[in-house]
Amino acid sequence: MSGWRRGARVGALALALAGCSRARNEPAPLSLRVEPATAETRLLLVAAPGWKINARLKPALEIANGEVIRFDAPHLTPDSAYFADVPWATIPGRPQVVRGILRASVCAAGEKVCRAVTMEVKTET
């Protein structure tokens, strides 16, 4: 993943946090980055410091047309529970705007619980 990341331009991102269904009133533990590539757009899900993303329940972006895109990464932590890399997903083409509902299961270091995060996202590439 590092190969394409080096050459990609980081797109402008507008992230609207509409609410975390299970972690309301807490700072967003995730952010979404958009990196346009040649024939597709890559979305990267970045965990805030101290947070891990559950790899057993791959994050999902429910886009406006009803399609569900799942995020994945090649490397997991030794217990296979969390992503060791930044999980990413691709969408075809280079849409000007990506809009949808982002879902992820996240775990805070030291807390030993999982929390479901639901965010309304609108990204401009």
Partner 1 sequence: MPRAPLILALATLMAGAGPRPAPAWRNASWLNAEKPVTLESLRGRVVLLNFWVFTCYNCTNTVPSLVDFDSKYRDQGLTLIGIHTPEFPPYSGEHDKGNVQRALERYHIRYPNTQDNDSKTWDLYGIRAWPSFVLIDKKGRIRYEGAGEFHVGDGSYQLWDSRIRELLAEQ
48 binds partner 1 (CB under 8 A): no
Whether the Cβ atoms of residue 16 and residue 121 lie closer than 8 Å to each other? yes
Contact between 51 and partner 1 per CB under 8 A? no
Owner of token pair 């490397």? 75
Position 17 contacts partner 1 (CB under 8 A) = no
| Least distance CB 12 / partner 1 (angstroms) | 29
Residue 119 is a binding residue for partner 1 (CB under 8 A): no
Distance CA(97)–CA(41), nearest Å, equals 11
- Binding part of the chain for partner 1, among 29-37, 41-49, 88-96, 111-119 by CB under 8 A, reads 111-119
Can you tell me which of 91, 115, 119, 121 binds partner 1, judged by CB under 8 A? 115
Residues in contact with partner 1 by CB under 8 A are 22-23, 54, 56-57, 60, 62, 68, 79, 81-82, 103, 105, 107, 111-116
